[in-house]
Amino acid sequence: MTVSRAIGWELEGMPRIARGAGSYLYDATGKRYLDGSGGPAAFCLGHGNREINAAIAAQLEQVACGYRYLFTSEPLERLTEVILGHCGPEFGQLVFASSGSEAIEGAMKVALQYWDARGQPGKRRFIARQRSYHGSTLGALSLSGFAERRGPFERSLLEVEFVSAANAYRPPPGVEPADLAAALARELEERILALGPENIAAFVFEPVVGAAGGVVPAPPGYARAVREVCTRHEVLLVADEVMCGSGRCGTWCALEHEAVTADIIAVAKGLAGGYIPLAATIFRGAIAATISDAHGSVLTGHTFSGHTAACAAGLAVQRIIERERLLERVRVRGAALLDELRRALAPIEAVGDVRGRGYFIGIELVQERASKRPFPEQRGLGRDIAARAFEDGLICFPCAGNAGGGLGDAIIVAPPYNASDGELAELVDKLTRAIGQGCAA
């Protein structure tokens, strides 16, 4: 058996990673790659940070992990305070996990347990959106309007109701951009009423869609409109900020841009910067109190929930972000980066849309700008561009299917929060070259 078959994915042709330093990764041959997407928007402070590594090593010298049913720990307690402080006074409890998928599973379980504790066990159904991705576990995948990833598992997924994607570049037929937020909120409300509010546990959405849409910020007013619908019908609002949260959009919570507060938030990727896997399901104090009064505790979590060394890594990452004022850096410099990419890519006719928020930017590719007609699926344009960029020493993140039916190519860039201006200029230069070559091929 080959190594690639034993691990579970195809490794042939992949370079072997050797080390990382700052915004760069190096393979075993010494070739250097600018990490322009943080892998999948995870490595928010780059690689090989000595302060983070030292925090992890110091914790490992003491104890790697205290099992959550026997011990608390200083890193866990301090990181909990930091996270809740970022989320606001409404939030009172969280459960740590090791991945975004687990954090979403936790959000689903908290929602279900809350309604059971409220004496409304019939509220079991979830509503999500088309062109969304919430994770690879069966529950998280059930919430995902991402046909390309659901296919082999359809018969084992939960029954979830889907409403339209919130995509201003590709709105539902007949909906004008100015009316989009109101139309989508109306659709959600109509679906809740059709299913019966007494049956709906939560509406789950990404404030900025990542892999399933190629970075799609919700239109202005959308988050507030769906918040009002959910409040009116006693449906919990769950914000999946696994990819877009933890500072990626220039605010710690992505929903801060809309001045809207969810009931439950899932975060992961940038929480510990990819140094050790870490995620969290964060929920309002009122939800925690209701569950505690009825059941004693939240019935979700895993063996490594609150892993001590992982929390030490997360605490070090968050300390650096605060000390170096990187949220402000991402917010201000991200707007400039978006403008720079738009100017650099404007001459390439196949670039239909350049959008994003903070250091989370997507480029959608089309055959015609006027009609927004996508390239044929079989061309694999996004993958081809990512491969060209990789060969040139730039890592970016391709995604496909955002136009529906497997059609629609996009490229995501999500650089480290502390990337230098020179590194961002290199990103723009190499990405522009790869897109121009790929679209001309």
The domain segmentation of the chain, as residue ranges, is: 3-48+325-440, 54-323
In a 13 Å sphere around the CA of 353, the CA atoms on its Cβ side amount to 25
Rounded CA separation 168/165 (Å): 9
**Across 321-438, where does the E strand assignment appear?**
351-357, 360-365, 394-395, 397-404, 407-413
> What is the fold of 3-48+325-440?
Aspartate Aminotransferase, domain 1 (3.90.1150)
Helices 381-391 and 421-440, packing angle to 10 deg: 130
Q: What is the pLDDT of residue 7?
A: 54
pLDDT score for 387: 97
Distance of CA 128 to CAs 92, 162, 193, 208, 362, Å?
A: 25, 5, 15, 14, 22
Q: What are φ and ψ of residue 314, in 5° steps?
A: -60, -40
- Consecutive H or E run containing 225: helix 222-232
Q: Say how many Å lie between the first and final Cα of the chain, rounded.
A: 37
**For residue 149, what are the β-bridge partners?**
none
Same topology for domains 3-48+325-440 and 54-323, yes or no? no
Question: Nearest Cα to 200, choosing from 257, 150, 127?
Answer: 127
The β-bridge relationship of strands 17-21 and 160-163 is: unpaired
Per-residue pLDDT of the chain (441 residues; tens, 9 = 90+): 455 555 555 666 799 999 999 999 999 999 999 999 999 999 999 999 999 999 999 999 999 999 999 999 999 999 999 999 999 999 999 999 999 999 999 999 999 999 999 999 999 999 999 999 999 999 999 999 998 899 999 999 999 999 999 999 999 999 998 999 999 999 999 999 999 999 999 999 999 999 999 999 999 999 999 999 999 999 999 999 999 999 999 999 999 999 999 999 999 999 999 999 999 999 999 999 999 999 999 999 999 999 999 999 999 999 999 999 999 999 999 999 999 999 999 999 999 999 999 999 999 999 999 999 999 999 999 999 999 999 999 999 999 988 888 899 999 999 999 999 999 999 999 999 999 999 998
Place of tokens 């995870």: 42
At residue 148, the pLDDT reads 86
Q: Where would I find the beta strands (DSSP E) of 138-225?
A: 160-163, 200-205, 208-209, 216-217
pLDDT at residue 1 in the model: 42
pLDDT of the residue at 9: 55
Distance in angstroms (rounded) separating the CA atoms of residues 5 and 143? 29
Nearest CA among 167, 189, 98 for reference residue 135: 98
pTM recorded for the entire structure: 0.96
- 8 A C-beta contact, residue 269 and residue 100: yes
Contact criterion met (CB below 8 Å) for 137 and 223? no
Domain boundaries 54-323, corresponding CATH code: 3.40.640.10
